[in-house]
Amino acid sequence: MLRGFYTAASGMIAQQRRQEALSNNMANVNTPGYKSDQGVMRAFPELLMQRVEAKGFPSGRGLHVPVDQKIGTLNTGAYLQETIPDFAQGDIRETGIGTDMALINGTLPDEMGSVYFTVQSDEGDARYTRNGNFTVDGHGYLVTQEGAYVLDNAGDRIAVDGLEFQVSSEGTVSPAGGNIPLGISYIADSRSLVKEGSTTFRLDEGEALDARQVAGVNFSVQQHHLERSNVDAGKTMVEMMNTYRNFEMNQRVLKAYDQSMDKAVNDIGRLR
């Protein structure tokens, strides 16, 4: 019976954590470039139940031979192993703002590959994002809404000295006085990315390559556009309701075990 307590409780915890991930997706349904988190549920190892008994055989010595009889398996609960971002491209919408840019995947050599804007973290390391909702800071540099510098293909900050600049479909920024190629990075396996914040990723393993130098990579940049979040609001709402119902079912099971334990302790185990 105690094992039933743990199994039901683990189910409640798993559903609660899944609900938190879904709630975070809903909160970012309007965040440009946001990639929805998908929860991966796993079961704890199953136990093989056996009955051990001794069978006697007619003999002068009365021999007893132990016999194992398999009863079946017993599941010991579930847990949310991890949340994995869905890197599918979101819809593209026009904003009319010159500092907004959208990356559009074309032909890519790897099924899980994608292209990303390269930005600079507070520690000076490269980070990657699909959120092209940029702006210009007080020093004339192109930055994200969080203040991270947008980098060119040489890893340097991009100075545009104002809002009047053009971005070609190949990803070249043309402010007054020159052409600067945006740092568009190609990552062959997006599953190697680790989310930092809402729309920024760091590379956990492997390396990011200059998308222009990788054979078979085809992409385009659209100025005055943004890539929307790939969260499906309707589907997420349905999943949230199902998760809540599953939580309630585990709660009822836990309550039933509690009532059974109450009877076992206070009624059956009562000394008269």
Tell me the domain boundaries of the chain. Answer: 2-83+249-268, 92-227
Crossing angle of helices 2-27 and 233-263, rounded to 10°: 160
Note the residue count of the chain. 272
pTM of the model: 0.79
In tens digits, the chain (272 residues) has pLDDT values of: 567 778 888 888 899 999 999 999 999 999 999 999 998 887 766 655 555 555 555 555 555 555 566 666 666 778 788 888 999 999 999 999 999 999 999 888 888 899 999 999 988 899 999 999 999 999 999 999 999 999 999 999 999 988 889 999 999 999 877 899 999 999 999 989 999 989 999 998 878 999 998 888 999 999 999 999 999 999 999 999 999 999 999 899 888 888 888 777 777 656 55
